[in-house]
Amino acid sequence: MLHSATRKRRLINALLLLLSCLLAIFSIRVAEVSLANPNELSGWILFTAVTVLLFYAARKRLSTLPLGRVAHWLQVHIYTGLFCLFVFFIHTGWQWPNGWFEIGLTVSLIGTIITGVVGLYWSRTLPTALTRLGDEVLYERISGFCAGLRNEAEEIVLAAVEKTGSHALSDFYTRFAHGALSRPNFHWRRLYSNYSPLHRHERKLMAAKRLMSSNEATAAERLQELLQQKDLLDAHFTLQGALKHWLFVHLAFSLPLIPLVLLHIILVYSFGLA
Amino acid sequence: MSLTNIKIERRQRWDKPFAESWAEGELERVLDLPIFKSMDAERFPSQLSLQGIVRNDTRLVHYEPGDIVAREDDYGSSAFIVVSGEVTVVLPPGLPADLLGRGVVSQPEGWWGAIKRIFNRSRFNETRHYAKEGWDLKGDLRYQQGIARVHINNLEEQLADCQLALLGPGELIGEVAALTRSPRTASMVVTQPSELLEIRWQGFRDLRKYDDGFRTRVDDIYRERNRVSYLKALPFFSELEDNQIEIIAEQTLLESYGDLEWKATRRKGASSSVPSEPTIVEQGDYVDGLLIVLNGGARIVGKHHAGQQTIGFSRSGDFFGMHEIVLSHQGQTEHEYPVHQYSLTAMGHADVLRIPTDLIESKLLENLASEQIQQLIKQSAYPRASVDQGFQEFIGEHQYTNGRSTMVIDTSRCVRCDDCVTACARNHDNNPRFLRHGRQFSNLMVTNACMHCVDPVCMVGCPTGAISRRIDGEVVINDETCIGCSTCATACPYDNIRMVEISDPAGNPAVDAKTNKPIVKATKCDLCVDNKGGPACERACPHDALSRVDLTDTATLNVLLRRAANFL
Amino acid sequence: MRKQLQDISFRVSRYFRPLEPWHCGGLENGEQCPLGPDRKGRCRAQLALQDDQGQASRACRPVANLRARRQRVGWIAMIAVLAVLTLGFSYDSWKPLAMPGPLSVHHMSFGGEDCDSCHQAAVQPKSSWVSSLLGTHPSVDDAKNCIACHQIGEVPENPHSLPSDQLLSLTEAMNAHTAQLDTGNRVLSASLLVNVAQQFVGEEAKTPSCTVCHNEHTGSDQITQVSNQQCAVCHTASFADISAHNDFTDYPANRRTQIVFNHNSHLNKHFLDEDSSDLAPQNCIDCHRADSMGKKMEVRGFDTACSSCHLEQITGENRTSAKGIAMLAFPAVDTETLLERGVDVGSWPADSDAELTPLNLLMIGLLNPELSPQLTQLRALDLYDLRDASDAELDLVYHAMWTLKQSYFEMQRGGAQSMLASLQKQLVTDSGRAREVLGLLSPDLIDAAVSQAFPNLAEEMQQWLIKGLPALRLVAKTENEAQEATAINKVTEGENNEDWLAAAAGADEDDWLEDAADDTGDEDWLSEAAEDDSDDWLDEAVADSQDADDDDWLNEAAQEESSDDWLDEAVVDSEDTTDDDAWLNEATQDESDDWLDEAVAESAEPDEGDDWLNEAAGDDADSLDDDWLEDSLDDDNASLFDDENDIAVEAIDESKSVVTVPELLAIEDRAAAGGWYFEDFYLRYRPSGHADRLIVAWVELLINNTDSAMQSAMMSNVLSKDSPGTCIKCHSVDRQQIAGITRQTVNWLGKKASLTKHGFNSFAHQSHIAVIKHANSDLGVDEVDGCQACHKPNRDSDSSLAYEQEILADFQSDFYNLDKQQCIECHQPETQLANCTQCHNYHIGERVLVGMKIGFQSEAGKVKQTFSTQLE
């Protein structure tokens, strides 16, 4: 169940979006009917919208200025992005361009918006999943912790081998645990399901345990703890990684938009808005 | 909740004596002072002997002309006894702030300043222009016995147009601050070489506790100098005439509860139930007096089923028991005498004033109009328990009640983008002033950012007065007068003050010319005081996950919790 | 309870600095060093140690912060794109790169490389592109390139491609019209979109760029998109959809048809007759046919549509009246009266009852311009009975008759072309027509006709040339007339026979003047005469006759009293002196001799001509003429009758054999195939069929003759409905006042559609015919009269009335105006069929696609040659 304020906010913003879309359509039709060039108008509307989208990035860098809460700016950013998509299709007349330049422009814009939507979806869903993990860790520290876990595990295993001389635990470690502990693993499936490889490893460990002496067993239990922690780390590594890396794609699509749009405007004006 | 017991050594009294060492014969000389002579050493318990107190809790400090003994508005932690020479008390308006080493309280900068700040941002961490250009202090620092003193040159000129009061040998100074850990009312300087015996407040309280003469003397001074004005400042008491107030003040008792080094207790293992804390009053007892929390914090606890639950928190200036008294005075209770609805326990440490019930009834309630009575009933009513008991306990357990602008992050909204940290750094010359991690209850994380406490223990004992509290309550550190003694960082119970090693604008580490040790400074969140927009972290959060709140404010708390309802 | 991932050792953990490009590798296990990496990502601690000890001790690899990595990725992407663009556009064939969308099939011939065929910028330096952001709208220049191929209307860039003044007048007309419209029609005015749009119509809308309606590069072949609202922005009083369209007031017919055709009488009467029913058309398309664009309906033409019934009327079969058009007449003249009145017009065919024809009048007017103003009067005269004619009329008759005779004389002698010369001189407008009128007239026919009408024309001519003198023999009462006659005769001689006049003047003048001077004592009048008058008029006579400017001369001669005075005086003097006669006689004698000698000398006539000349020299002219005429007549008759008798005898004798001698048809029937013939003193022409060249030429020749006499004559002669040819029975005549004078044009053809000319309306008949054929049931009509689904015949109308008056628009059609509802049945508002442009053209006027060199001059100086097709 959503917080009522959030629901209200979404309702209002959606209405505003709808309103501005209608307004855009109307003004474009007016331009067309008044024998002006509707594409010119829709183009400039699109340009303005894209500029507004850029303001968001600017606002983040101008955090010293009293420019209001970024949360509000994000709302503007999100809904303007959707608005862009709408105006873009009007501008192109729902037709896919065949010129390489235009294709690039289209891909860049559509890509930006799509990645934005994906990022938005993750921003709304993944934090909850992260919190449910029940433990926080700074993304930058994950690899460090992993290293720690791995070292500890190796010590345990070595100690166990020295003490007991049996290789049941070390076999298990080299065959399964080592791969799991060696480095933080990114599992796509964690993003849309509660997938975890942990129980598979635990099952294998259980199986291995039967062959172990009591000393090894205790070590194995400790190893199991480490595996659990590593699983937690992987979860963080995956979810936080997704949250942090979708922006890479978003930027990779959106920044090229700037030169493309400018060149597009120049071309269009020098080629007579044909 | 994955909290866990951390087993540590219980701190012992006098582990760390106040004075590094006593010169030969000095201790005797001090003990021969009339004030100690008049005390009856027998009455002190063996483990807290008078001599022990003097040796461990006092030190003899030599002041040169121009030295500042104490500053106006400082959170004093010790009292002074003039041994020789003379102390000049500068009466209000007193000395200029910058002379006292305070940061000059400037208005929030405008747009232009903000824009300039964007471009003047230094490229390296913790750079300080003065690390290159040298200090621009009014006075200069002088170390003595390893204690830094701010020395004011040409003091005479500065004092020329000030009202002064002179105190000679034997005079007791700054006892109120030592007693109540309240800000000092006036600055004290030394115009001639003098010796002062500095008694830290722990020892001062012990002396007062075990020596009646000393207590009466101190309390008398306290009353006449302070308590009347304190009471008069309280709501509803302002209605009374001075003589009434004085009568009340005479019979008001000052009581101190809890462990003096209460920070140690905070480390104690937590549990979902209310931890055992020193009880000030018990639920169901006869209300023998109105309690006013002087400083520290108290927890209002109610029995609930088999256990207890936290109803709310009392901070300095809060009444306790007033509700019962008024109701019974209005005859709205089943008993003919008032009975405590809830217990009050000291969270770590609490100083309370106790005003006898009959005095309140006879002196206060009699003089109030009926609508004022109703008002009083309404205001003194106890808060209803917060929507989430567990969180309430969590707050109390970690003393977050002390905070006024605690940074709370809703981790079910936070996308870990670190924009808050980035924004903070951008507002502080490329340096963050908090860490985006901290204790967590469910999806609410209290991060390591200064909470700007109601009772800022960090301010106690800052030798240069670099750390001070603004009129609006923001606790700020004047970086230029900070000498990096890390007193505040150690004092902060929440570890929200960070010591950083500074460098010059070129990024070269600044080191002490003599010791060649890196020069460190205390840094912490300053709530972006000189920024028009308010805290940058809060504004920078794209998902409304971060907010600066007062956790004792049940209303805000409930908003937070309800917003997180989709997670909880 | 699980161990915490990061034990919150807050006291030791340092600030994490996401703004920094790098963070210490130690951070990852919670123990970063205070120095941290520098901005280049080198561990500063390591550097410091290197400074101290010269080599690195503990290796800490700083890690790039996410933020920094993110920004790096973004910048790399942007720079990569920039690089690609720079490379691509600096590459020679960059044009496919900038292609915004596929071209329509119409312009496929410009490949992806041919941007400069339409776009100036394609050949301009790329640096100038940026300036076009601020500069003028390039579409204006590029539009020139559209117009280069598509020649549209007179002013292509104007609205409706019309000239501004025309546009203005049209607008006023429309406003006046819409002022009367009921506001109920103005549905669209209520439409918010259009109302708002009207507020935003800018200056540029007055010369809208092509791209406003024509969008290329859209990938579709339909590059013309005009919405009804766009029309409505200017046409403020127009309507939301066709349902609110005005009712048709004058559509489809806004003027009487060129071909006079009464559908009512044909459909309801003629086609039902037994004898013509089999000839009658089965349905509309038997006579009407869509043009090659399938739009306008045209009449299939005479041969297909009309000839079966109407050809005979033209050729004149079973016509009771004369079947040929009377072109030239040898009129009957009341000679007795004339003689009584002392006016001798020579001999005229006694048994003729012909009247002057327009061509006669034309000839008279041409030969004797002095008379042309009086032709009306002349035509009004009944030449056969001149008893109560006034002197002036007689005078007119006298001259007209002689002129006519002379014209016949010249035609006889010189053939028809002798008349052509003068005809063409006047009718400069179309000399070819004159040739066609008389060209077919054979000299034999002329000779025969003239000889029969005027047996002694030649002798009369010579007599007439000397004539005028005998007039003086009349009684004194009539001397004046005689004198005048003489004078005028002299005048006419002067104009007609210059040689003679010149000779006469040159030969006698001096002599008789001198004699006169010797004989008579007082020389006053003579000297006067010599100085003032006789010299003058003689000189003038010579001079004028030389430059053949007759009118001036005549006017002067007529106006100058001096000549009259002189005549009076001459008469007065002649009374008292007798020897005047003498010298006059001599003079005449000499003259006659001279003339005869000359005549003989110069005569190159055949023998008989000689004969009668010789005889004429000796004998009395009258008797000789009579004999000759009688002889010739006798011979003719005799021979004629003999032949007839012989043939008859033979016929009787050989009656048993089945040889039937074809009977001698009336001469006009003999000319049934068309051509000239002579009958009843008329030279008639019989049309050879429809669109006979002579008739057409004759009509064209006369129709715009401004002479009222000509016009009325013409009306009776050719243009009357029952005159042979009966042209205007079917071909309506349009009279239009152009610059004050009425221009008349005969509509030889029905309305023809032009492929390149476009009006405001366009209706595709062909497709509708197809629809009717398929869906006639829906329209409730069968295929035969499918057209009548829309064109409802108006049985009460009489379209023929329209051709009485001159106003073309004022007429009553055989069909009712179209019913709007009929259209709406199919053209439903919501369908595309209901767009304004479905029935209305935007570009008015000639629309031609010309092939030509287009493309802009590039710096290299090359001009791109594109396709070249000529569409006519």
What is the total residue count of chain B?
568
What is the mean pLDDT of the segment spanning C138-147?
70
Interface of C with B in 37-66 (CB under 8 A): 38-39
Within 8 A of B445 by CB-CB distance, chain A residues are: 136
Name the CA radius of gyration of chain A, rounded. 27
User: Over 70: is that where the pLDDT of A38 sits?
Assistant: yes
The C-alpha of C134 sits at a distance from chain B's nearest C-alpha, in angstroms, of 32
pLDDT number for residue A83: 97
Mean pLDDT of chain A: 89
What is the mean pLDDT of the segment spanning A96-118?
91
Who wins on pLDDT, B253 or C808?
Answer: B253
User: Over 90: is that where the pLDDT of A95 sits?
Assistant: no
pLDDT number for residue C510: 43
User: Over 80: is that where the pLDDT of B116 sits?
Assistant: yes
Structure-token pair, residue B176: 């109120």
Within 8 A of B434 by CB-CB distance, chain C residues are: 15
Who wins on pLDDT, B422 or C655?
Answer: B422
The C-alpha of C155 sits at a distance from chain A's nearest C-alpha, in angstroms, of 18
The reply to whether omega before B93 is within 30° of 0 (cis) is: yes
Q: pLDDT band for position C796 (50/70/90)?
A: confident
Least confident of A231-235, C7-11, C743-747: C7-11
In whole angstroms, give the CA distance from residue C97 to residue C95.
Answer: 5
Interface of C with B in 12-41 (CB under 8 A): 13-20, 34-36, 38-39
User: Over 70: is that where the pLDDT of C620 sits?
Assistant: no
Give whole-number Cα distances, C645 to C637, C640, C650, C657, in Å. 12, 9, 9, 19
At C293-341, the pLDDT tens digits run 888 888 888 888 888 888 887 887 777 777 788 888 998 888 888 888 7
**Total H helices, total E strands in chain C:** 36, 12
> Burial level of C634, CB count in 10 A (0-12/13-18/19+)?
exposed
Question: Which of A173-177, A260-264, B462-466: highest mean pLDDT?
Answer: A260-264
Q: Could you please report the per-residue DSSP string of A219-262?
A: HHHHHHHHHHHHHHHHHHHHHHHHHHHHHHHHHHHHTTHHHHHH
Interchain CB contact of A63 with C (< 8 Å): no
Phi, psi of B469 (to 5 degrees): -115, 135
Q: Give, for A155, the enclosing helix (H) or strand (E).
A: helix A139-164
Structure-token pair, residue C811: 């007429």
Q: pLDDT band for position C181 (50/70/90)?
A: low
Sheet order of strands, B172-173 included? B58-63, B194-200, B78-84, B172-173
Q: pLDDT band for position C851 (50/70/90)?
A: low
Question: Which of C349-363, C494-508, C856-870: highest mean pLDDT?
Answer: C349-363
The candidate with the shortest Cα–Cα distance to C712, out of C358, C476, C404, C388, is C358
Who wins on pLDDT, C44 or B459?
Answer: B459
The C-alpha of B437 sits at a distance from chain A's nearest C-alpha, in angstroms, of 8
What is the mean pLDDT of the segment spanning B537-547?
92
Q: pLDDT band for position C521 (50/70/90)?
A: very low
Q: Which residues pair with B199 in a beta bridge?
A: B58, B79
The whole-angstrom distance between residue C441's C-alpha and the CA centroid of its chain comes to 29
**CB nearest to C17's CB, from B425, B438, B501:** B425
In whole angstroms, give the CA distance from residue C617 to residue C320.
Answer: 50
The candidate with the shortest Cα–Cα distance to C722, out of C357, C316, C264, is C316
At B422-469, the pLDDT tens digits run 999 999 988 999 999 888 888 889 999 999 998 888 887 787 778 888
| Under 8 Å between Cβ of B300 and B352 | no
**CB nearest to A131's CB, from B417, B563, B567:** B567
In whole angstroms, give the CA distance from residue C667 to residue C671.
Answer: 7
pLDDT number for residue A269: 85
Question: Which of B318-327, C270-279, C363-372: highest mean pLDDT?
Answer: B318-327
At C600-611, the pLDDT tens digits run 444 434 444 344
Is B448 close to C10, i.e. CB distance below 8 A? Answer: yes
User: Over 70: is that where the pLDDT of C746 sits?
Assistant: yes
User: Over 60: is that where the pLDDT of C400 sits?
Assistant: yes
Give whole-number Cα distances, C82 to A248, C124, C353, C395, C690, in Å. 19, 22, 105, 106, 79
At A178-214, the pLDDT tens digits run 888 888 899 999 998 888 888 888 888 888 888 888 8
Indicate the DSSP class of residue C721. T
In whole angstroms, give the CA distance from residue C226 to residue C835.
Answer: 8
What is the mean pLDDT of the segment spanning B280-291?
92
Is A138 close to C219, i.e. CB distance below 8 A? Answer: no
pLDDT number for residue A88: 95
User: Over 90: is that where the pLDDT of C62 sits?
Assistant: no
Interface of C with B in 137-176 (CB under 8 A): none
Interchain CB contact of A225 with C (< 8 Å): yes
The candidate with the shortest Cα–Cα distance to C467, out of C484, C434, C490, C451, is C490
Within 8 A of C32 by CB-CB distance, chain B residues are: none
Q: Which residues pair with B297 in a beta bridge?
A: B347
The candidate with the shortest Cα–Cα distance to B40, out of B209, B207, B211, B170, is B211
Phi, psi of B75 (to 5 degrees): -85, 95
Structure-token pair, residue B566: 């989709």
Is C8 close to B439, i.e. CB distance below 8 A? Answer: yes
Q: How many CA atoms lie within 13 A of C99 on its CB side?
A: 22
> Which of the other chains make 3 or more beta carbon contacts under 8 angstroms with chain B?
A, C
In whole angstroms, give the CA distance from residue B543 to residue B419.
Answer: 10
pLDDT number for residue B481: 81
Is B433 close to C11, i.e. CB distance below 8 A? Answer: no
| Under 8 Å between Cβ of C571 and C592 | no
Calculate what percentage of chain B has a pLDDT beyond 90: 16
At C467-481, the pLDDT tens digits run 543 342 333 334 444
Interchain CB contact of C115 with A (< 8 Å): yes
Residue with tokens 């507004």: A52
pLDDT number for residue C785: 61
Question: Which of A221-230, C701-710, C785-794, C830-839: highest mean pLDDT?
Answer: A221-230
In whole angstroms, give the CA distance from residue C491 to residue A109.
Answer: 103
Q: pLDDT band for position B218 (50/70/90)?
A: confident
Interchain CB contact of C200 with B (< 8 Å): no
pLDDT number for residue A15: 96
pLDDT number for residue C545: 41
At B32-47, the pLDDT tens digits run 888 888 888 888 888 8
> Burial level of B96, CB count in 10 A (0-12/13-18/19+)?
exposed
The C-alpha of A272 sits at a distance from chain B's nearest C-alpha, in angstroms, of 41
pLDDT number for residue B70: 84
Within 8 A of B425 by CB-CB distance, chain C residues are: 17-19
Cβ atoms < 10 Å from Cβ of C38: 17
How far does chain C reach from its first CA to its final CA, in angstroms?
96
Within 8 A of A243 by CB-CB distance, chain B residues are: 415-417
User: Over 50: is that where the pLDDT of A78 sits?
Assistant: yes
pLDDT number for residue A5: 76
ipTM for the assembly: 0.82
pLDDT number for residue C707: 63
Is A137 close to C5, i.e. CB distance below 8 A? Answer: yes
Q: Nearest residue on chain A to B543, judged by CA atoms?
A: A71
The reply to whether omega before A259 is within 30° of 0 (cis) is: no
Within 8 A of A3 by CB-CB distance, chain B residues are: 562-563, 565-566
Interface of B with C in 4-23 (CB under 8 A): 4
| Under 8 Å between Cβ of C137 and C209 | yes
Structure-token pair, residue C867: 């396709």
What is the mean pLDDT of the segment spanning B67-71?
85
Question: Which of A82-91, C216-225, C490-499, C763-772: highest mean pLDDT?
Answer: A82-91
User: Over 70: is that where the pLDDT of C432 sits?
Assistant: no
Best mutation site among B1, B2, B429, B445 for testing chain C: the one with the most C CBs within 10 Å?
Answer: B2
Q: pLDDT band for position C58 (50/70/90)?
A: low
pLDDT number for residue C509: 43
| Under 8 Å between Cβ of B559 and B434 | no
In whole angstroms, give the CA distance from residue B480 to residue B476.
Answer: 12
Calculate what percentage of chain C has a pLDDT beyond 70: 63
| Under 8 Å between Cβ of C836 and C759 | no
Interchain CB contact of A229 with C (< 8 Å): yes
| Under 8 Å between Cβ of C4 and C51 | no
The candidate with the shortest Cα–Cα distance to C325, out of C682, C666, C705, is C682
Who wins on pLDDT, C134 or B378?
Answer: B378
User: Over 60: is that where the pLDDT of A99 sits?
Assistant: yes
At C234-258, the pLDDT tens digits run 887 656 667 777 778 778 877 888 8
pLDDT number for residue C109: 75
Is B435 close to C1, i.e. CB distance below 8 A? Answer: no
pLDDT number for residue B408: 94
Is B432 close to C16, i.e. CB distance below 8 A? Answer: yes
pLDDT number for residue C81: 94
Interchain CB contact of B414 with A (< 8 Å): yes
What is the mean pLDDT of the segment spanning C377-395?
82
Within 8 A of B439 by CB-CB distance, chain C residues are: 8
pLDDT number for residue C240: 61
At B119-168, the pLDDT tens digits run 888 888 888 877 666 555 555 555 555 566 667 777 777 787 788 888 88
Interchain CB contact of A30 with C (< 8 Å): yes
Q: What is the dihedral of CA A98, A103, A109, A111, to 10 degrees?
A: 110
The pairs formed by C538-546 with CB atoms below 8 angstroms and a separation of 24 or more are C538/C505, C538/C509, C541/C494, C541/C501, C541/C505, C542/C501, C542/C502, C542/C505, C544/C494, C545/C494, C545/C495, C545/C498, C545/C501, C545/C502, C546/C498
| Under 8 Å between Cβ of C399 and C368 | yes
Q: pLDDT band for position C8 (50/70/90)?
A: low
Question: Which of A109-118, A215-224, B119-128: highest mean pLDDT?
Answer: A109-118
What is the mean pLDDT of the segment spanning A253-269?
92
pLDDT number for residue B280: 92
Cβ atoms < 10 Å from Cβ of C688: 18
Is C133 close to A34, i.e. CB distance below 8 A? Answer: no
Is B114 close to A126, i.e. CB distance below 8 A? Answer: no
In whole angstroms, give the CA distance from residue A140 to residue C28.
Answer: 6
| Under 8 Å between Cβ of C625 and C459 | yes
In whole angstroms, give the CA distance from residue C848 to residue C843.
Answer: 11
Q: Which conformational region is residue B317 in: left (phi greater than 0), alpha (psi within -120 to 50 degrees), or beta? A: left
> Which of the other chains make 3 or more beta carbon contacts under 8 angstroms with chain A?
B, C
Calculate what percentage of chain C has a pLDDT beyond 90: 3
Structure-token pair, residue B108: 């929030």
Indicate the DSSP class of residue B162. S
pLDDT number for residue A230: 92
Mean pLDDT of chain C: 70
pLDDT number for residue C272: 84
The C-alpha of C198 sits at a distance from chain A's nearest C-alpha, in angstroms, of 6
The whole-angstrom distance between residue B210's C-alpha and the CA centroid of its chain comes to 25
Is C10 close to B431, i.e. CB distance below 8 A? Answer: no
Within 8 A of B413 by CB-CB distance, chain A residues are: 127
Least confident of A13-27, C125-139, C434-448: C125-139
Q: What is the dihedral of CA A209, A212, A216, A219, to 10 degrees?
A: 0
